[in-house]
């Protein structure tokens, strides 16, 4: 019987792992561009559905808001909380040559209200409206107007709002072009962030 002789065995061959494929580094320009696009999309979605910054371009809301004041407009709450009399709203004016612009006025009448103006004094549903925010009331008279309410049986929102500037003697508002359709309203002006010394809430009509 042959004896076991060490050294006659063939050494086991180590299995060689397949060469690793070099990892391609993603192009930094592509990554940078992708991140920018994502941020822009998020900003656009936020601005479209949640809130946006606006500035005051005219003196029609003085003394409450002055030219070049910066404000935050809340859009989201329109989905669950109805607009109330006295609030400040940003909207697209119902004028063919201004429909893409953004204006800001105070809500004087809500759907279903009867609004009347006698020598600058506003009456809503037969009662004089208390307006401590008015500096220049103006002296014009407007006949009574009933604001339309929304009919849930239709797809269109027929609701109307009567909107006026606080600077009544220098404001192009509902006393000139009539009620504002609900669909034209963008959101509530809820906060002023500029100038620094005027920072604060505008919610509840800014009173």
> What span, in angstroms and rounded, lies between the C-alpha atoms of 91 and 32?
36
Active-site residue (options: 10, 21, 60, 201): 60
105 catalytic? Reply is yes
* Preceding omega of 31 cis (within 30 degrees of 0): no
Give the full edge-to-edge strand order of the sheet including 127-128: 127-128, 121-124, 114-118, 142-146
Determine which one of 105, 171, 174, 182 is catalytic: 105
Collect all residues with Cβ–Cβ distance below 8 Å to 38 and sequence separation of at least 6. Answer: none
By CB atoms closer than 10 A (0-12, 13-18, 19+), residue 24 is exposed
Please identify which residue in the block is written with the tokens 């029609």.
60
Tell me if residue 20 is catalytic: no
Question: Is the separation of the CB atoms in 106 and 167 below 8 Å?
Answer: no
Residue positions annotated with a catalytic role: 60, 105
């Amino acid at each position: 019987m042959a004896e076991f002789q060490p050294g006659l065995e063939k050494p086991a061959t180590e299995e060689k792992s397949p060469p690793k494929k070099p990892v391609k580094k993603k192009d930094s320009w592509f990554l940078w561009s992708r991140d920018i696009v994502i941020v822009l999309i998020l900003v656009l979605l936020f601005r479209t559905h949640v809130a946006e910054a606006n500035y005051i371009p005219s003196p029609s809301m003085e003394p409450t808001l002055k030219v070049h004041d910066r404000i935050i407009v809340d859009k989201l709450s329109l989905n669950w909380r109805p607009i109330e009399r006295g609030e400040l709203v940003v909207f697209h004016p119902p004028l063919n040559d201004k429909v893409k612009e953004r204006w800001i006025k105070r809500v004087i009448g809500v759907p279903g209200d009867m609004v009347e103006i006698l020598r600058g004094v506003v009456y809503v549903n037969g009662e004089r409206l208390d307006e401590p925010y008015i500096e220049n009331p103006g002296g014009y008279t407007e006949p009574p107007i009933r604001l339309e309410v929304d009919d849930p049986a239709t797809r269109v929102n027929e609701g109307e709002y009567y909107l006026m500037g606080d600077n009544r003697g220098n404001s192009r508002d509902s006393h000139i072009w009539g009620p504002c359709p609900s669909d034209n309203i963008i959101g509530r002006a809820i906060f002023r962030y500029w100038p620094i010394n005027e920072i604060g809430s505008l919610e509840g009509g800014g009173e």
